[in-house]
Copies of this chain bind each other. A is one copy, B any other.
Amino acid sequence: MARKPQTRPRKSASQQRSQITVDALIEATARILVREGYDKASTNRIAAVAGVSIGSLYQYFPSKEALVAAVIERHTRQLSDVIQAALARAVASPLEAAIRELIGAAIDAHGIDPKLHCVLAEQVPRVGRLENINAVEKQARLLLRDYLEAHRDEIGITDLDLAAFILVTTVEALTHSAVLHRPDVLTGEKAAEFVDEVTQLVLGYLQTPPRARKPNKVSRAR
């Protein structure tokens, strides 16, 4: 790779140029997805918005799908960074602080590019390479499980996989749904209340003593 010293600057220059093109394409895709929706995101339109020829688009992305996948990946990486950082901070914290950290991270994550997040969640067909939109959640599930394991004696739950699944799903859904349907609760002083409520929800669940649980069957109506 670094074998041709004299061509390095040249190559570096062209690599830089390529990178600019690639970035412009991803950015244009994201912008179109947000502003006009998935259906309007045709490759020709993306190229035009990126200020790049359609030929260049196909030099870097083999298909429209690959382009959208790149947008997803970029967005996912940003989310992931926020979540990772929060969980890293949380790992040494006591239970409640950790939970608050997690919830705060979820809110922050959903604040990264909310419009894009919605489009990716609602309009992009989860098929082929595009189905790993939920990768972040999976990852969060695993990390949280580890945390719960380390704090096993503080909580009254035995099936930690299930608990992690429930918690991550709940926190994600609440944040996501709040962004979409109740953006008011995420701004100003209401935000703190929202965090408190969700913390309460989660904490109450985790700390329930095992004996309080009654595993009686429910008669489910057909």
- Kindly report which residue of chain B lies nearest to residue A82, judged by CB atoms: B221
Which residue on B lies nearest to A127, using beta carbons? Answer: B37
A126 near B125: Cβ-Cβ < 8 Å: no
Assembled-state Cα–Cα distance A197/B105 (Å): 24
Q: Output the residue of A195, A198, A218 with the most chain B CB within 10 A.
A: A218
Q: Which of B86, B174, B192, B201 contacts A215 (CB 8 A)?
A: B192
Q: How far is the CA of A125 from the CA of B124 in the complex (A)?
A: 7
Q: How many residues of A contact B (CB 8 A)?
A: 57
Do A165 and B177 touch (CB < 8 A)? yes
Is A152 among interface residues, defined by CB-CB distance under 8 A? no
CB distance from A128 to the nearest CB of B (A): 10
Q: Which of A142-192 contact B (CB under 8 A)?
A: 157, 159, 162-163, 165-166, 169-170, 172-174, 177-178, 181-182, 185, 192
Is there an interface contact between B213 and A200, defined as CB atoms closer than 8 Å?
yes
- The CB with the most chain B CB atoms within 10 A, among A172, A177, A217, is that of A177
Closest chain B CB from A66 CB (angstroms):
16
Within 8 A of B (CB), among A108-132: 108, 122-123, 125-127
Please name 16 pairs of A and B residues whose Cβ atoms are closer than 8 Å in the assembled complex, sorted by A.
A39-B125, A89-B221, A122-B125, A123-B125, A163-B197, A165-B181, A165-B182, A166-B197, A169-B174, A169-B177, A173-B177, A192-B215, A192-B218, A201-B204, A204-B208, A205-B205
